[in-house]
Structure 1
Amino acid sequence: MAATLLRRLQPVLAILIALAVLLVAAPAAHADPDSEGGTKSLRTALESAAKGHIEAKNKLENSKKRQKQLTATLAEAKQKAASLETRVGEVASRSYRQGRFNTMTLLLNSSSPDAFMERALRLDQMAQVDGKVLTGYQEAVVTTEQAKKAIDLEIKEQQKQVTVMAKKKQQAEQALAIAGGGAARSGFINANSPLAKPAPRNSDGSWPKESCSVNDPSPGGGGCITPRTLHAYQQARASGFKRYTGCFSQRSSGEHPKGRACDFSAASGGFENVNASGGDRTYGDNLAAYFVKNADRLGVLYVIWYRQIWQPGLGWKSYSGSGGPSATHTNHVHLSVI
């Protein structure tokens, strides 16, 4: 009985075994990369370094703008003070020569009431003019001193932010070195990359805080992403990079579960478990170059492609993710935004 049942099930078992072999052997064309390579600590360090650099750079640029405005104010105040110095000297000299008593004497020595009133009017007008001259000169001097002090403070602020940027760069380099990467690379640069439409910023040029609040429209998505991630995704597609993409995914770390990252497949059919070559490699090169060129416009934290990583203030460095094409980023371009 058992032998008969086994013989009857053999064809079914053979089919099931064959299907299992095919499922294991066949590459999942649309399967999202299951690993970004590196470690959680590495990704955390890189994110912190990139965000710190972007924030310090924005503060530095704002300080330079303020210094430029203050320098113009200082020059204008100096010019005004210089133009009034001669008139201030005249007022001081006249006051010294005549004094309050002599001014009253001039009025009393008038030959007639009409002459008295005329002299009084002229002296009043002169006093008003003298008062405006003295007040204008004093304001110009005060403005000059305040502008000088403010400029000194801006210079200190700029030195502070330059120091912060240097520390963040060192932090990223050390993290990459610990992971076995960090060597300088020529990277992926294309001067002919199209320009993306800038993402919205705050009035001071900083990036607004965003949450995972909009639906992920990418084919490989299925969760939420931030408005800035959506903008980067849409701008890439508008610039001709329309191959299979996955943004949100549940992972233990990184920006994907925060809705701040997307993986762009190099192959047109989806994520293949092979290193991109030929036209697929060119597509990935151009896409990586596109994100680097538009980093300030899109709020790019970092880009990873073909064993290399780029982030603001660091440039292209070797990235030593170990494992298959997903971990080494040789089958997809990874983008993280602030």
Structure 2
Amino acid sequence: MAALSRDDRRRGVLRMLTASITAVVMCVGVASAGHTAPKPTAKQLRKELAQLQKQSETMIAEYYKGRVALQKAEKVEKVSRDNLRRAQQDFEQASREIRLLAAQRYRSGGLGTLPALMGGTDPATMLNHMALTEQIVNEQDARLQGFAEVRDAFRDARSAAQERAAELRASLEKLDAQKKRTTALIARIKDRIDRIYPTPGLRRADGTWVPQLPGGPDNITPRTRLVRQLIAQRFGPHFGIGCYRVDGGIAGGGEHPLGRACDFMLSQGGSMPSAAETARGDEIAAWAIKNAQRLGIMYIIYRQRIWHVRSGSWRMMSNRGGVTANHYDHVHISMY
């Protein structure tokens, strides 16, 4: 076996050093990766979202249950307050009547008054007068005591009702704050889910996107398909989503025949949507505006208005003569 030359030995040492350095770098990389938490997948985020939505629904149910209880407590509080006011009036009226009665008897020298007791009557009559006077006083005291007990009972009832209403108000305020925090967290998770999916296609330096060709069984572009998917996941299809169609249709073709537009329906049969569905349309339009630059959305039409990414604001459109034609029953979104 021939002896290795100096160059061969040098190359062998270099190969060994390179292998050792590579191994160290790989170990460091693995160790570093072990300290970095992996990004959650869309499936994990949707699971977390479902749990939060369930918690939110429970809190909303508890909130409205608490509202009903508070309304009942406030009604009880009002009744007890009115009862206390009437009881106090009755007590004051009885006190006035008894004072007037005592004053009249004193002035008229009636039974049990000082002039009668100081007169020239016999001891038996005096004892009778004193006994009758004591009876009248006791009856007056009993009458006032009865009114006072009723008044005090109503005062206790009012205090209890006020305390119950105050507890319910504090509980509702706490629950409402929790509900708002959960709603904000749900919105953030939904945004994270949206951002997991990269926008297909190429973007130009001016911010616009290079047009894509439609394809697949639905005959729409990849960007249109992504927007349809994200909106369906976030807001629900409810009354259906229409994207590709060959002709212009009643609302005009636009990008529909090119596979670059979708209509997100809010009602059926050309009828005006409900207040809840109109609000859902507002939410869809707001979401599309928020994500227009990132997803390649070119313009949005909703409720006889159009929003274009270049202007960044809504403007009114001419009347096309119908609910569907004026886009009151659906949100239209066109892509680059």
TM range (shorter): 0.3 to 0.5
Bigger Rg, structure 1 or 2? 2
Q: Give the TM-score of the pair, scaled to structure 2.
A: 0.37
Tell me which protein shows more helix as a share of its residues: 2
Q: Give the TM-score of the pair, scaled to structure 1.
A: 0.37
